[in-house]
Each structure stands twice: as C-alpha cells, then as structure tokens.
Structure 1
C-alpha cells in the first residue's frame, strides 16, 4: 500500500452519501505566514515551560549552548527535508510527497517507509499524551493559584486528574476538523496563545530576577549526590530540549498546504527560518530568565510549578493561554494520524459505506456539516486512548524527555539526511557525504544518551 497520494495536484477521492465517488480538489493557498503559524503552534508548546528546569540541570554555559545547537540542527534538518516534498518523475513531472512516510517510500523504499511510519505514529501519539498531561497540569494550576491567593501559600490545595477528561472531551469536538487545510484558523489562535504565555513567563522571570537583585544559578547547574545521578539529570535535560525543537514529524504535511508558485520548498524554508528564529528567542529568554530567577530551584514547569504565586490573575491567564494553545497543538500533531487512517481504510475497504460514505448533518444556526462514520469512530478511539495513557503516566518532564530522545535522531536527522543523499545524488565517501554522516552519527549518540536517561527518569517516577 502506498503511503501518500498521487503526483502533481492530485485530488482526494471522497464518496458522498448517495454512493457516488467524487473528487474534491485540494485547495493549497498557504504561504510562509500560515506555515509559520502551523510550525510555531507545533514547536512553542509544552516544551518551552520545561526549559528553565533544563537550564538548571545544565548550567549557564551548557544550557544556552544546547538550545543554540538544537536550533542550528533543526534549521539544517528542515532545509534538507523541505527539498524532499517533490520527487522527480520522468513520466508525470515532479511527484508530491504529501506525507513523511510517502517521501521515505519514494526515496528509500517500502521497508524504510514502514519503519518510519511506525516511529512517526508512535511519536505523534506520544505528543498527544504529553499535551493532555500539560493541559491537565495547567487546569490544576489555575485552581491552585486561586486557592493559594485565598488561603495562603501553605494551604493544602490539591486537585485530581479529571481535567484530562475535560481536555479529551474538547478534543473530540475539534477532531471533526477534516485536515490541515481547514485548521489554519486554529493554528493562528494557538500561535497567538503560545506567544502570550511565553511573554508572561519571560516577564515574570525577568521581574523576579530584578526583585531578587541577583542572578541565580551556576556554571555547572544543580549539584547531585552522585556523578551518575548528575548524568541522568543532564540526559533528561537534553531530551527536554530535543522535544522542544524539531517538527519534522509534520513538516511535509504543513508544506502540502502551500500554494505554488513560488516553489513550496522555498516558501517552507522561509517559514522554517522565521519560526526557528522566533522560537529560539523565546526559548533563550524563558529558559535564561527562569533560571536566573530561581537558580537550582527552577520548577519543572515554569508556569505551573509555583515559583510564581502573584499576581494570581496573571498566572490564571497564562495557564488559560497554555490550555488554548494545547487544544490547537494536539490537533496539529494528530492530523497526520487521522489522514493516514482515512487513506489506509479507504484503500483497504473501497466498497464499504461505513468507511467511505459522507452524510450531511444539519444543526440549527450552523452550516451543514459532512460526517463520516469511520472518522467519528477512529478519532474518538484515538482521543480516548491518549487520555487513558496520560492518566496512567502523568509525568511532565520525564515524558517530554522520552519523546524528544525517541524521535530526534531517526525522524529529525537520519531519514532526512538519507533522502538528501538520494535526491541530490551525493557520491559515497565524498566530502559532503562524510560531513553529513558524521553529523548524523553525533546526533545518534546524543539521542541515545538522552533516551537512556529519560527512560530511567520515567521508571524512577513510577516506582517512587
């Protein structure tokens, strides 16, 4: 089974409720600004809130240094990967690779594509879990901020995890959005929210540093009882930073929304540079000011760890922005899975009405809406499963580190580099080949180091 759809401006087959197959043209009208909104929605997420904690583990030299390194790696990777959107086709002209797995299949073969598909779907599912955990933490932080304001900072303010269910319920409604082409408005809203809470975190960290009259922290970061414990913490911090940057999982899906001309890869490269510059500025400011404000006591989540208590209304507003952003971010990372399921079942069961029929539903005061039973059932099951896993593993920093380490090398580095060799016909053992292979090997070692530490962190949290 192919992982993507045809070349050129291929149309997507849909079957209406009258049983007739129709082709609805995909309208690609995105530009560098809509693409930047999608990327910022995906990148400036829960990861930014853990960067002060990551800085505390790494210290004043290694902390900012690792952020700059990962920003540079992401810029290089996104530039290479954007060129993989179209593949040469002597018969029909350049072929669109509308998904990550399809690009891998066209360039590296079906075996690599299946491995890529497994890793990508696992990582995307993990992002859904992480965003559900983060949203629940922000819900509880709002209630705690109000409780602490009313009863004092030592009050026993604790709340359960039922807010994950609320977040999942809203995601059930948002999962009715058909695909990326219909959710630019949600990405723009989420991007605005991410800027809002990033600015608040930055401002609170700066004001706290000024009121302290001293810049806290050290060159080496938090001291640990044993060198091994320090190694585990450093590896988790690297995993958190790795989680905060790459967006290779959804780059081609975003690029598929862009209009042409100009060439999609040129527009995507501009959007990537804009997004990486913006996110790196916020990351450095939030991480550095958060560490300067709290030093070794920097909380795992800057806006929910209650390093800041007042003004409580601003904490409430920041966490409300986080929740709204995560609603959009969850959908950005879920859409590739939804689209894969739509294609897979449509190809597997072409004659099934349950899979292919669309029914028009009319709700008073709202425009008619087309409903497909497979989409309703699959997306409901997907949201329910991410919510269930989040309830069982509610560990913010450890889950972020695990996800970052797990997908950083294979999905953000290895496959894009190997496809670049094929696309550009780079000779083996040439200077360019050796440099990129060395780059890939270093990233593999960093990813493995972060993965081991993050697994140890999850196990310790579960047992402890």
Structure 2
C-alpha cells in the first residue's frame, strides 16, 4: 500500500483497542522533544569541533557541518513517518523503537542485522560519555592545580574513580521505567549543553579579541605528507558526523509525544528547530575556537586546556559537561534497556513459563 504525502503527514489516532500499550500515558510536547533532541545532539563533541575545523580549514569546515546537518534533517524527516504503519486488517500500528520500524518496513531479517549496528553504536556512545565525563571531572582537578602551581606544573590524575562515580550515578538513574520518565532529566541536560557551549564560544571570542587578529587558513593545518593530511581530515569528518548522532533514538523520542497534533508533524518541527539551533552553535563554537588558536587548536577547548583562565569558569563549564552527559547517557541507554526488557518478556521461556511442583 502506497501512502500519499497527505496521508504521511496525517496520523490517524489509534483506537484504545488498537493501541498495543494503552496504559502508557504520552505527555510529550514540542518542547520536551526539543530537549531530548538537543540532549542527544549537543554532546561534549561540540568542543572538539574547533579541532575539526582546524583540519579542514575555513571553507571545508563550515561546509561539512552544514552538509552533515542537512543529511541528518533529511533522515529524520523520513524516520518521523515510520512511527506508525498502516495495516489494512488491524489498523495503524505504533512502532516504539528504531528496530520496530525497520522490522515493519524491511522485515525481521533486516531488523536483526540492523540491531547489531544500532546496539554497537548505542554502546559506543555510552562508553564515550562515561570516558568523557571522567575526563571533564579530572579537568576540574587539573585546572585547580594549574591555577595553584602554574601552567608548567605536572598535574596528572587518574580517571578511574571518576568513571566509577559516573557509573554509580547511572546505576540509580537507570531505574527509570522508560523513556517517558526522563523528560525532566533531558531538560536539565539541554540547559547544561547550551551553558557550556556558550562558555566555550565566549572564551573563543575573548581570545580572538585579545590576539587582535583571526588565526587559521583556508586549507587548514598543514602536514608533511598527503597521507597524514588525509588521515586528519577523515578524523575531522568523523568528529563532525558524531556530533549529529540522535537519529537512532528519534522514534523513541517521538513515541513520547501526545496527539493531537499528529506526532510526526510535532517531531519534524522539533527536529528542524533543534538541528538549526545546534548547527548555528557548532559553527560559532568551532569557528571562534579555530580563530583563537589556529593550527594549535586543542582537541577539546576545555579539557584540552586551550584556556587556562579564568579557572573558575573552566571548572564551571566542565561541571556543566558532566551534568549534561549524565542526562545524555540515559537518552542513549534507555533504548538498550527497553530492547532487552522486551526480549526477556517475549523470548525467555524460563521467566515466562509456569512451573508446577508435584508433591
């Protein structure tokens, strides 16, 4: 059955008997969806975009960000219409996850294959968030050390204890029943992401004003060999691609939205607002970071100590990063929890069968 564009933009409300999960109360709005998206999109990777810009230069760097943003927005528009699927016998069904949408559109075999890549991506993001949060917590300690003992001091600290602390916090937050119960956490995380992005942007502007000129070039960092340059460009493009990762959790976000209006229309509006906003942030943060440091742009403006002073502002920004990553971890981990809970409920015979003991 082929849907017209008008049909795709209009979602027929499910009748109570048709809704496979009528007990779930969906209360999400445009603004909670924007909060989830921004929490998922603006990660600590925004602070590495200045380094990516340095590898690509003043032309290719901004162009790459705009291209990746456009591709992400196009993909989200396609996914928004996969939340519900028509069934001529039973009416429209709701897909609660990316995998359910793949199953509906492409079949179970493709869903199993897709499951491998999705979960590797989600696991990888969770690991990256754990490591980055530890680096940010350690950066606060190092910043205070440099302030006390000077910028040449040997201020080296371990990340292990910080990872354990982050893991303990996530162990508690992971008891949230599902994606529908972390909206407040996403709002806080989104505010934190804007806060540390503003700090990075402001420090970059201050550094450029202090230098009195704009650093950088149109071709980016010069290297001794073309192979080295190609490798650095590939890394830069990978960093930019990683800065737009939320498509994997888009349907989970859309499933939190109430209707009317139709959830796909709300989600498209939220995606457009969020991606345009984050791309503007990326361009400003990456651009001013590169303009401030040129070829010497650090991998992370805050944890890499492109800036040393004012140390209290650096500490505050890194604290915001940690709080944001606490919420971001849940945004990417809740789909993993939901997948395994569903598997346990549907496939595990030991837990679902009844056993009788005869005396």
Normalized against structure 1, the TM-score is what? 0.71
User: 1:9 maps to which residue?
Assistant: 19
Structure 2 residues without counterparts, runs of 5 or longer: 1-15, 354-359
Tell me, yes or no, if the aligned pair for 2:83 and 2:254 is still in contact at 8 Å.
yes
Report the CA distance between 1:8 and its aligned residue.
4.2
Separation in 1, partners of 2:158, 2:224: 32
1:107-256 equivalences under 5 Å are 107-162=105-160, 163-256=162-255
Distance change in 2, residues 1:186/1:323 (3 Å): same
Using the TM superposition, give the Cα deviation of residue 349 of structure 1 relative to its aligned residue in structure 2, in angstroms: 2.8
Q: Distance in 2 between matches of 1:246 and 1:194?
A: 15
Equivalences for residues 6-405 of structure 1 within 5 A? 8-11=18-21, 25-162=23-160, 163-349=162-348, 352=351
Cα offsets for 1:285-329 (capped at 9, x unmatched): 100000000111111011111110000000000000000000000
| Residue equivalent to 1:406 | none
In structure 2, the CA distance between the partners of 1:309 and 1:174, relative to structure 1 (3 Å rule), is: same
Task: Using the TM superposition, give the Cα deviation of residue 170 of structure 1 relative to its aligned residue in structure 2, in angstroms.
Answer: 1.0
SS in 2 for 1:57: helix
Q: Give the structure 2 partner of residue 456 of structure 1.
A: none
Match of 1:455 in 2: none
Task: Give the drift of 1:344.
Answer: 0.1
- 1:348 Cα deviation (Å)? 1.8
- For 1:251 and 1:132, locate their aligned partners in 2 and report how far apart those are by CA, in whole Å: 22
Which residue in 2 is equivalent to 1:414? none
- On the 8 A contact 2:345/2:352 being kept in 1, the answer is no
Aligned length: 337
Q: Give the whole-Å Cα distance in 2 for the aligned partners of 1:300 and 1:255.
A: 34
Native 8 Å contact 2:300 2:306 kept in 1: no
CA distance in structure 2 between the aligned counterparts of 1:137 and 1:113, rounded to whole angstroms:
35
Is the CA contact (8 Å cut-off) linking 1:57 and 1:234 kept in structure 2? yes
Structure 1 vs Structure 2 CA RMSD: 1.5
Cα distance in 2 for partners of 1:170, 1:348 equals 30
User: 1:7: how far off?
Assistant: 9.1
Counterpart of 1:352 in 2: which secondary structure?
A: helix
Post-superposition offset of 1:353? 7.6
Contact in 2 for aligned 1:7/1:94 (Cα 8 Å): no
Quote the offset at 1:350 in angstroms. Answer: 5.7
Q: Distance in 2 between matches of 1:106 and 1:290?
A: 44
Shifted more, 248-257 versus 343-352: the winner is 343-352
Residues 198 and 286 of structure 1 are in contact (CA less than 8 Å); yes or no, is this contact kept in structure 2? yes
Counterpart CA distance in 2 for 1:80 and 1:226 is 41
**What is the CA distance between 1:96 and its match in structure 2?**
0.8
Structure with the bigger RCO (C-alpha within 8 Å, sep 6+) is: 2
Q: SS where residue 251 of structure 1 aligns?
A: helix
Residue 19 of structure 2 contacts residue 93 of structure 2 at CA under 8 Å; is this kept in 1?
no
Cα 1:350–1:261 shift into 2, 3 Å: farther
Q: In the alignment, is the contact (CA less than 8 A) between 2:216 and 2:291 conserved in 1?
A: yes
Output one character per residue of 1:190-242: Cα deviation in whole Å (capped at 9) or x when no partner.
Answer: 00000000000000001101100010001111111110000000001000000
On the 8 A contact 1:31/1:258 being kept in 2, the answer is: yes
